[in-house]
Amino acid sequence: MVNTTIMKKLIIENGPPLSGFVRVSGSKNAALPIMAASLAASGQIKIQNVPQLSDIFVMQSILDNLGADTSYNKIAEEMDILPNSALVTGSPKMELANRIRASFLVAGPLLSRFGQFKTALPGGCAIGTRPVDLHLKGFAALGADITLNQGYVEARADGLRGAEIYLDYPSVGATENLIMAAVLAEGITALGNCAMEPEVTDLCRFLITLGADISGIGTDTIIINGVKELVGGTYRIIPDRIEAGTFMTAACMKPGSDVTITNTENTHLRPVIAKLREMGANIIEPTPDSLRVYTTGRLNAVDVKTLPYPGFPTDMQAQLMALLAASTGRGVMTETVFENRYMHAAEMTRMGAQIKIDSRTAIIDGVTPLSGASVKATDLRAGAALVIAALGAKGTTEIIDIHHLERGYSGLDEKLRELGARVTTSVQ
């Protein structure tokens, strides 16, 4: 299932303003936990609107590796999963677990259904230390015995029991893992200070489709009343709000652009819409699931702070920094979610951007225009930010290591070309 990575690069030349329509794919960050959650069920599952991304195929390999039967239909963008009961004892291969942090999301469902799991401590984008202590504390509160050994975490429970758990921080992954662990536990689990991200809500709705009893969805307190079994079902994933936000930012980069983004869920994009409007972008909502973004001139700098939802998403921080790098005036960015998520700044500096970093704060002085250069995608959203910077830069930009981009954007080069951008992909 996992494609061998061929190192590729993107070449972006300065082109006309972007115009036309672009359709957003299904949400990667909703699809990954939902695929993992399927392990807690006993019936056939069909997940619709699953994007074609390398991270999704890694998760599919993990599920296969654990003994589930999976198949992905690329045309229909549907994933079928039969989590048969033979999958008790496996553990995801270290090589796969190291590739995506979301691999750790199999822990909750395995513990819930089989009373045990063993999995490697997770990898993923290099954007900070990203521990899993909150997940483990929660599993222990539900009655699991946890041991750490040689890079693996092992947990065993002789039947999980519902508990009151208050998260020290509203971690998205910990909230998801604990919901998945609690769905089959005996009794009631009250999870406080939960992450309220739309992807957490989507996971809850999926689990309810399979027979779970969950309330408080979308709030910071989620109540799970354990049920005996989860059955099969069909579920459609929400649109990817970060992909939508990335195209909105791309449209803002080039004055004169006029882009309509379809298959969106506009309510999930409020913090991004508000910030871009504050910068001077025109954003119209023709329907609740589409957005038209157009600009007539250079945007104005603003201050931005990343926060858990409904605050401004950390996964849009890099893309907004690219826009600030080419805006009028000085903007201050504060990254509060991850402690080391400014690696794109050094690459943007090669393109002439004026950025000073001090710990979690970045001060960005707008420069027009940025200049094309050879740069490197250091992680998924850093790569997206470099694409946006390149769209507004004079000359040609070469972005290497774009396999990072393929983790989270389906057909990005093609979608940009359809909007009129001069983008080509070639072997590195």
Q: Which residues are catalytic?
A: 125
Q: Which stretch binds ligand UD1 (CB under 6 A): 61-69, 131-139, 365-373, 392-400?
A: 131-139
Both tokens of 204, joined, read 């809850």
**Among residues 134 and 210, whose Cβ is nearest to ligand UD1?**
134
Half-sphere exposure of 171 (CA within 13 A, CB side): 23
Among 49, 209, 314, 378, indicate the residue that binds ligand UD1 (CB under 6 A). 314
Q: Does 128 sit near ligand UD1 (CB under 6 A)? A: yes
Binding pattern to ligand UD1, positions 135-174, x when CB under 6 A? x---------------------------------x-xxxx
Out of 14, 25, 29, 38, name the contact with ligand UD1 by CB under 6 A: 29
Token digits of residue 317: 């921080």
- Residues 393 and 367: beta-carbon distance below 8 Å: no
Q: Which of 42, 265, 338, 346 binds ligand UD1 (CB under 6 A)?
A: 338
Alpha helices, DSSP H, located in 125-237: 133-141, 172-182, 198-209
Q: What is the spatial distance between Cα 387 and Cα 381, in angstroms, rounded to a whole number?
A: 10
Determine if 404 is a binding residue for ligand UD1 (CB under 6 A).
Answer: no
Alpha-carbon distance values, 288 to 269, 270, 295, 341 (Å): 11, 12, 21, 32
Give residue number: closest CB to ligand UD1.
173
Give min distance, CB of 424 to ligand UD1, in A: 28
Nearer to ligand UD1, 189 or 397 (CB): 189
32 neighbors 59 (Cβ within 8 angstroms): yes
Give the shortest CB-54-to-ligand UD1 separation in angstroms.
13
Q: Does 317 bind ligand UD1 (CB under 6 A)?
A: no
Measured distance CA(247)–CA(19) in Å, rounded: 11
Beta bridge partners of 258: 19, 294
35 binds ligand UD1 (CB under 6 A): no
- The residue within the footprint of ligand UD1, chosen from 9, 101, 113, 344 (CB under 6 A), is 101
Q: Single out the segment in contact with ligand UD1 by CB under 6 A; choices: 3-11, 64-72, 126-134, 413-421.
A: 126-134
Residue reference for tokens 């001139």: 297
What distance, in Å, lies between the first and last C-alpha atoms of the chain?
A: 23
- Cβ 223 vs Cβ 216: under 8 Å: yes
Of the candidate spans 127-135, 157-165, 231-239, 272-280, the one that interacts with ligand UD1 by CB under 6 A turns out to be: 127-135
User: H or E stretch including 54?
Assistant: helix 54-65
Task: Check residue 102 for interaction with ligand UD1 (CB under 6 A).
Answer: yes
Q: Name the residues that contact ligand UD1, by CB under 6 A.
A: 29, 32, 101-102, 128-135, 169, 171-174, 195, 199, 314-315, 337-338
